Homo-oligomer: A and B are copies of this chain.
Amino acid sequence: MTKGTEAALAALKEHIKEIYLLGSISGILGWDERTYMPRQGAAHRANQLAYLSGMIHEKLTDPRVGDWLSQIEGTDVVADPLTPDAVTVRELRRAYDKQTKVPKELVEKITYAETIGQGIWVEARKESDFGKFLPQLEKMIDLKGQYAEAVGYDDVPYDALLDDYEPGVSTKEVAAVFARFRKELVELVKKITSSKKKPDVSIIERDYPVDRQHIFGQAAATAIGFDLSAGRLDITDHPFCSGTGPGDCRITTRYNPNHFGQAFFGILHEAGHGMYEQGLPTEHFGTPMCDSVSLGIHESQSRMWENMVGRSRPFWECFFPRAQQVFHTALAGVDFDDFYFAINDVRPSFIRVEADEVSYGLHIMLRFEIEQEIFDGKIKPSELNAVWNDKFTSYFGITPRNDAEGCLQDIHWSAGLFGYFPTYALGNLYAAQFFAKAKEDIGDLDEQFAAGRFDELLSWLRKHIHSQGQRYRANKLVEVVTGKPLGHELFMTYLKDKFSPLYGL
């Protein structure tokens, strides 16, 4: 390495460490905003966050970043693309190019539209009035189209949007996997729906005192490996996980005193995100090597712990007796199999965030298809609600009675988050691939879960995924870890193996 390259690399790393530091500060402010901030603090908090994000943007688009990168690219620093420094250069180049390609006025227009869009969406959903949201939706689609053009893409404009959340994964690739996946999933949902066997869900809708839910949920998060000396569990309206730097990752939940599962599985889900953050290699803090790969990989961790572990039979062989002791009234005399069936109820429903593990994927694919068709110009924004209802009926066999339980249900589009939805389903697919490989490598995972042991699975994830930071992009990581490309097969196998006996298919 020449002196010049060395200096450029050192300067670049010093510079991006500041960006990560500022990001972690924003992280705490954002967490506080959604947990403990008093109501009247909102306006000033918005100023603080805008100031920080302005500073981050300024640093990321600093022309010196481009110069440093140019000085390093092509040198022996990046000869082996898997070294931490090469990863830093690769990811910074991506971020720098993206951020500098978008004109400042467009960024400002999008930010403004996102802010007012969410307010309009709240009103429109409340009144179930798609027409009220439509002008704003059209504006946002237009702006995000301009954004895609500015950023550029290989194949279709939607590539540029998807790349914001799942870097390096193409629309074509996802569409191909989802097409095969959808066909099988629609069939499985139909079979389950027509089954005579139905769980008695009233078991989990009894009185579950909130203080006991909190203690029980926190203990379960600890049991699977979420480290409370390096994290917290708090209460919020819309649960999230916020990694705010080494040694500090905070998860949140929301309690329903008349439902066992909402908070409990939510906690396991967020703990899955949290354990990923807690497993990032902190010695690399301030570089992409101490950052998560993508939303899809993040979701693979949360979904695995929530569903593949947390809703599994062996997990409850360990936890059901404890649950009966803590919720001694609600679960008195309840049969293990009935409880296990109740927490695995599959029932087509209109609202994505309330969907079960099986039908969830259909909610996502519907959104993914609509988003593509919009950015391909195949449908107009004004047709969106009609298209939604048609597709929904064909996938689920039920039709939304209004747009509030149809195309107005999610906040994402009002906030400009086109290309975000597919990552939820990708998370399930990645999770199934990782989980199958972990089972193969470790062997007796079921027996371990039943004995309350989750450390071997966590160690496996730490080694193969968490500690890797952004060494690989998502699709590459799946191949490296499992030896197979992204596919739907293992997730379908997982679903069939689990739900066939439950529903007597």
Asked if B48 and A231 sit within 8 Å, CB to CB, the answer is no
Interchain CB contact (< 8 A) of A44 among B48, B234, B248: B248
Nearest 5 pairs of A and B residues by beta carbon = A41-B248, A40-B247, A40-B230, A44-B245, A41-B247
Contacts of A250 in B (CB 8 A): 38
Report if A1 contacts B (CB, 8 A): no
| Inter-subunit contact B39/A229 (CB<8 Å) | yes
CB distance from A415 to the nearest CB of B (A): 24
Q: Taking the complex as formed, is A28 at the interface, i.e. its CB lies under 8 A from any CB of chain B?
A: yes
- Please measure, in the bound complex, the distance between the C-alpha atom of A244 and the C-alpha atom of B47, giving whole angstroms: 12
Which residues of chain B come closer than 8 Å to A244, judged between CB atoms? 41
A37: chain B residues within 8 A (beta carbon)? 248
List B contacts of A353 (CB < 8 A). none
Question: Is A412 on the interface with B (CB-CB < 8 A)?
Answer: no
Q: Which of B25, B232, B285 contacts A38 (CB 8 A)?
A: B232
Chain B hits for A52, CB < 8 A: 25
Minimum CB–CB distance for A319 against chain B, Å: 24
- Residues of B near A245 (CB, < 8 A) are 41, 44-45, 47-48
- In the assembled complex, 23 residue pairs joining A and B whose CB atoms fall closer than 8 Å, in A order, are A18-B51, A21-B48, A24-B44, A25-B48, A25-B52, A28-B28, A28-B48, A36-B232, A37-B248, A38-B228, A38-B230, A38-B247, A38-B248, A38-B250, A39-B229, A39-B247, A40-B227, A40-B229, A41-B246, A41-B247, A44-B246, A44-B248, A45-B248
Q: For the complex, what is the distance from the CA of A323 to the CA of B28, rounded to whole Å?
A: 38
Task: List chain A positions with a Cβ less than 8 A from chain B.
Answer: 18, 21, 24-25, 28-29, 32, 36-45, 47-48, 51-52, 227-232, 234, 244-248, 250, 285
**A247 with B29: CB separation less than 8 A:** no
A131 nearest CB across to chain B (Å): 36
Whether A44 and B285, one on each chain, are in contact in the complex, defined by CB atoms closer than 8 angstroms, is: yes
Q: Assess the A248–B40 pair: CB atoms within 8 A.
A: yes
Of A40, A51, A245, most buried by chain B (CB within 10 Å of CB) is A40
Q: Is the CB–CB distance between A231 and B43 below 8 Å? A: no
A214 shortest CB reach to chain B, Å = 15
Kindly provide the distance from the CB of A172 to the nearest chain B CB, expressed in whole angstroms: 40
Across the interface, name the chain B residue whose C-beta is closest to A227: B40
Q: Which residue of B lies closest to A282 (CB)?
A: B44
Q: What residues of chain B lie closer than 8 Å to A44, measured between beta carbons? A: 24, 245-248, 285
Q: Which residues of B contact A227 (CB under 8 A)?
A: 40
Chain B, Cβ-Cβ closest to A25? B48
Contacts of A39 in B (CB 8 A): 229-230, 247
In the complex, the answer to whether A43 meets B230 with C-beta atoms within 8 Å is: no
Alpha-carbon gap, A40 to B247, bound state (A): 5
State in angstroms the CA–CA spacing of A32 and B248 once bound together.
Answer: 12
Which of B18, B25, B42, B43 is within 8 Å of A29, CB to CB?
A: B25
Which residues on B sit within 8 Å (CB–CB) of A51?
18, 21
Given contacts A38-B228, A38-B231, contact A247 B43 (CB under 8 A): yes
Whether the pair B32, A28 counts as a contact (CB closer than 8 A) is: yes
Min Cβ gap A146→B in Å is 31
Chain B residues in 8 Å Cβ range of A24: 44, 48
Q: Is the CB of A47 within 8 A of B21?
A: yes
Across-interface contacts of A18 in B (CB, < 8 A): 51
> Which chain B positions have C-beta within 8 A of A234?
36
Q: How far is the CB of A246 from chain B (nearest CB, A)?
A: 5
In the bound complex, residues from chain B placing their C-beta under 8 Å from that of A21 are 47-48, 51
